[in-house]
Structure 1
Amino acid sequence: MTRSSKLPLAQSLAGVPLTGQSEKTPLHDTPPSAWLMTLEVRAIWEFSALLPAWPLLNRAPRGDNHPVVVFPGLSANDISTVPLRRYLQLLNYSACGWDQGFNFGPRPGVLQEARNQVIRTFARTGRKVSLIGWSLGGIYARELAKELPEMVRGVITLGTPFAGSHKATNAWRLYELASGRSVTRESASYNLPVAPPVPTTSIFSRTDGVVAWQGSIQSPSPQNPHTENIEVVASHVGLGFNPSAWWAIADRLAQPEGEWQPFLRQKRGRIHGLIYPDPSRPA
């Protein structure tokens, strides 16, 4: 098994979100504005948009019944991922939650149980597991894939701050309150910006009111060319209910194992180019 840091996973994640880039590469350390934070209430409309979008979502490519584990965000539990998991089950995936209640950070035993869940699922099904993580849950998914690449088929994250300073989110104080840990004290030399050695997709929004979108950008890497960023128009709270995010997730999961191709923003006869802005455009 490969390791992403000098310490075991439970220790390397103890201070998420952590930083590990070179000193020559300054980290984005400004959180989203108060205005964007206020606009997080639009998550209600994103959820309500699922119904009119259903005829199109129902046309997404079907899966091959491989297992998918979905990790919730900070202070959320499996209830928050029920709509997404039900959708994936309808598309013929064996989707499940993390089965550990509320995500209050990497408390003792939490990360080891998450790791064991991936190992058990792989052993039970004999198939590699896709990991989806929302916000903090995406940190878990990425780091588990680094430890267990032979058991993980791919990783998809939603608004996950793996490439920025802990100060670049409006949730770090909530993290400290929920976990009882000091982010500043625990932030150290772990290389979270480095992608796992498996196909990895970061879905993000420039109008995210909780996590600065710059912290969710995966830089190209010759070590792992199977990485990509997909931009959607969404709130942070609504990313797990956003129709365009769901379509992107379904599109990524449906790729045959070992035949990864980058996401196509524009397709003939569709308005993908409008729904999915160019993630590489200037800020």
Structure 2
Amino acid sequence: MQEQGGAAPPALPLLLREVAGFAHTRMRATFAPPVPLEIDGRGKDVFVIPGFLASDRTTARLRRSLEKARFRAHGWGLGRNLGVDADIFDRIDRQFDRNGISELATLIGWSLGGTIAREYAKRAPHRVSRVITLGSPFSAHPRANNAWRVYEFVAGHKVDNPPVQAVLHEKPPVPTFAFWSARDGVVAPDAARGRVGETDYATELDCSHMAFVADPDAIRAIAHAIIS
């Protein structure tokens, strides 16, 4: 995997805020009611990939909100995201087929899920209309975050040497939208917003890393990015 330099992980106080608010935000992401969206999804398919160590339960509020707005919102259906493995893209392909996704779908990836979404779109652009990343570390150095040590322990490989060929900062051949936050205590803002040419649109949100899939304003911004 090719690397880029620069960008330090978020400062310790930001990380501690993430830890302190983890339980509350996780509950909101899983059980809070749908966010009203003043748009019509018209049956468009959306495929949502959770972040590292998260599952589809964590993206439940986001998907419920999109479903209520008449999108067809699919979880990734692959259990807890324990990192990248050699057949990750083949397994996502099979999930597209199981969900009956025949039209181009929007891929939404939270954190690590966003880097997976971007790489899948490079391999299967015929299945993807656009990619939306939420606090995803696709730019700068792969250690420009506060999760890489845990990732290496769980996934069993170095964060800069995954079992698939990937150039994370290279833009997929579809429209890409990168949401990032200066309040993110897990992923450095520079790593999540990208540099010139690495994404088509970069938008700042005012939320923590955990709240990308729970905060009402974030969910509204994501929904508008799907139809823009």
Instruction: Give the conservation status (yes or no) of the 8 Å contact 2:47–2:105.
Output: yes
SS class of match (2:143): helix
Establish whether residue 113 from structure 1 lines up as the match of residue 86 from structure 2: no
| Distance in 1 of aligned mates of 2:175 and 2:83 | 25
Match of 1:91 among 50, 69, 88: 69
Report the Cα offset of residue 233 of structure 1.
1.0
Change (3 A) 1:189 1:244: same
Counterpart-to-counterpart distance in 2, 1:168 and 1:117: 31
Alignment partner of 2:6: what SS?
coil
Alignment of 1:173-192 (within 5 A): 173-186=149-162, 190-192=166-168
Partner residue in 1 for 2:105: 129
Residues 155-174 of structure 1: pairs in structure 2 closer than 5 A: 155-174=131-150
For the Cα contact (< 8 Å) 1:195–1:218, is it kept in 2?
A: no
Partner of 1:239: 212
CA contact (8 A) 2:44 2:71 kept: yes
Q: Where does residue 214 of structure 1 map in the other structure?
A: 190
Deviations along 1:194-239, whole A, 9 cap, x unmatched?
2111111001101100001100123333xx8x81011011111111
Equivalence map 1:17-166=2 (5 Å): 19-21=2-4, 27-40=5-18, 41-42=20-21, 44=24, 57-118=35-96, 120=97, 124-166=100-142
Following superposition, the deviation at residue 186 of structure 1 comes to 4.7
| Preserved CA contact (<8 Å) 1:142 1:155 | yes
What percent identity do the matched residue pairs reach? Answer: 34
TM-score normalized with structure 1 length: 0.71
Aligned residues: 226
The structure having more radius of gyration, on CA atoms, is: 1
User: What SS does the corresponding residue of 1:150 show, helix, strand or coil?
Assistant: helix
The alpha-carbon deviation at position 183 of structure 1 amounts to 2.3
Q: Aligned partners of 1:189 and 1:65: how far apart in 2?
A: 34
Structure 2 counterpart of 1:198? 174
User: Do 2:181 and 2:209's aligned partners in 1 also have CA atoms closer than 8 Å?
Assistant: yes
- TM (norm. structure 2) is 0.87
Give yes or no for contact 1:158–1:204 (8 Å, CA) kept in 2: yes
**In 2, are the aligned partners of 1:135 and 1:157 still within 8 Å (CA)?**
yes
The answer (yes or no) to whether the contact 2:140–2:194 under 8 Å persists in 1 is no
Measured on the aligned residues, the alpha-carbon RMSD in Å equals 2.9
> In the alignment, is the contact (CA less than 8 A) between 1:46 and 1:242 conserved in 2?
no
- In structure 1, runs of 5+ residues without a counterpart are 1-17, 22-26, 256-283
Unaligned runs of 5+ in 2: none
